[in-house]
């Protein structure tokens, strides 16, 4: 699947609160240190290298949005999931775009959330 065929969405297209009913499920494919530094509340963390082994955690029949730092890793995972029949889109501007728009994030511990 070429990059122009990958279903996509930007941070501006998503609701601010992704924990509400009807909101898409965000699958964050960044590494654990990136996740710990700052992520979107309600997101499911599955590092890119673990996606194939953890496919059973990604529900079918639900709107899925895949996110990474900039949209590159998530584009690859989005393409893979789309080919497998998931209803999935790539967050093209990634966590960088999410943070730049002042969207809410959480971090592990007491740290101020940030994007690595």
Beta-carbon count within 10 A of 46 CB: 21
Distance in angstroms (rounded) separating the CA atoms of residues 66 and 93: 11
Catalytic option among 27, 58, 68, 75 = 68
E strand or H helix at 33: helix 32-37
Cross-strand bridge partners of residue 8: 90
Concerning whether 28 is annotated as a catalytic residue, the answer is no
Helix, coil or strand: residue 15? coil
Catalytic residue annotation: 68
């Amino acid at each position: 699947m070429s990059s122009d065929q990958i279903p996509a969405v930007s941070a501006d297209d998503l609701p601010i609160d992704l924990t509400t009913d009807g909101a898409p499920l965000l699958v964050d494919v960044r590494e654990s240190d990136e996740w710990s530094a700052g992520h979107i509340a309600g997101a499911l963390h599955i590092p890119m290298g673990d996606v194939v082994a953890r496919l059973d955690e990604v529900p079918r029949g639900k709107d899925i949005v895949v996110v990474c730092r900039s949209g590159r890793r998530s584009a690859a995972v989005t393409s893979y999931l789309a080919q497998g029949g998931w209803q999935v889109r790539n967050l093209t501007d990634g966590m960088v775009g999410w943070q730049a728009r002042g969207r809410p994030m959480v971090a592990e511990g007491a740290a101020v959330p940030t994007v690595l």
